[in-house]
Structure 1
Amino acid sequence: MTDLFEKAVEEVKVLRTQPKYEEMKELYALYKQATNGDVNFDRPGVFNVTGRGKWDVWNLKKGMTKDEAKAAYVDLVEKLKAKYGM
């Protein structure tokens, strides 16, 4: 699974069109869960809007194993490749 995940990480960088914001958030959350596991630091402060948003979407993946997150990431990238092309 690791090889497929690493390939998907590279492929998402060369899509013809950048995915929509919601798709990018999902990619981020799955990537962080796949590489780091559950979020392991406190939620950023109220003035760090971007950091809070990233923390929130990553925290939604809490409890998902790294392998499950890698598989979900690969599946999402395949859908994005079909949608946006390479």
Structure 2
Amino acid sequence: YSCVICHSQLVSHQDVISKAFQGRYGAAYLVENMINIMTGKDEDRQLMTGIHTVADISCRICQTKIGWKYIKTPKESERYKLGKCVVEKSRV
């Protein structure tokens, strides 16, 4: 998968964990092992599954926001997301 703006490679097909996630702009993917990204500042954000500490991620080449990375979660059932990223389908 590559950036919709600059076509820089971001994540391999085999690193997509789930295609059943919801992003800010609609459908999204849960992925791991991303490349060519920049990570923003950590912030607490209300998501569909509760409050999580996340950081926005952007394409390193063109700075287009493409999703977020999970940093912390208070829920044990959500810990599988830690260190992984949600990527907006409309941005890749």
Q: TM-score range by the shorter chain?
A: under 0.3
Q: TM-score, normalised by structure 1?
A: 0.25
Choose between structure 1 and 2: higher helix proportion: 1
Structure with the bigger RCO (C-alpha within 8 Å, sep 6+) is: 1
Higher-Rg structure is: 1
Choose between structure 1 and 2: higher strand proportion: 2
